[in-house]
Structure 1
Amino acid sequence: MSEEQADHRHGYDADKVKYLNRLKRIEGQARGITRMVEEDAYCIDILTQVSAVTRALQAVAIGLLDDHIKHCVIDAAQSGDEDAAAEKLKEATDAISRLVRS
């Protein structure tokens, strides 16, 4: 790891283990949906599980966005670099736009 990489931390670093555990659970849920389809489960039961996975992924996305705003956007704004702050804020706005469309 380079010195620059060692100095750079992501907003989610403090919760990385939590996110990884959550994503592993979601991965397991997705595999479960595959099994349900393979086993010809009732369509409403499959849709219920798809909805649960979707909500879980949205919760991860909202948490990551919150971490980005609290860490990356605020750090850039406090640095006094208006261009960097505008860039980080645009990243957050674009991410919100993608989440709203999904």
Structure 2
Amino acid sequence: MRHSEAKVLKSIRSSFQAAMIILSFVIIPAAANCLILAGLVFYGAPVAIVRANDSRSYHLLQSDDHVYSLINSLKTLRIKGIFIQKEKKNKQNSWQQAANKK
């Protein structure tokens, strides 16, 4: 009887450890990427997502789309980095300065 109880406890412990590994290395970083990206898009910063596809080449995805489609793309793509494009932001600043001068 004790042998079977020890077996059950061991399997529960190993499944708990596997769940913690998945949580810490997969779910939490994916949620953090979604929150960072949604915050940047909500703030209005142009964002480019760099991902690696099956052939290991890199593609840029522009953030002119809605936040919903970007977060959906995060679920299927491996995110390599999030970059703010300063050129568009400078154009936005120049437009704001021109509007303030009027």
Instruction: State which structure, 1 or 2, has the greater radius of gyration over its C-alpha atoms.
Output: 2
Provide TM-score, normalisation by structure 2. Answer: 0.37
Higher relative contact order (CA 8 A, sep 6+): 1
When you count strand as a share of all residues, which structure comes out higher? 2
Provide TM-score, normalisation by structure 1. Answer: 0.37
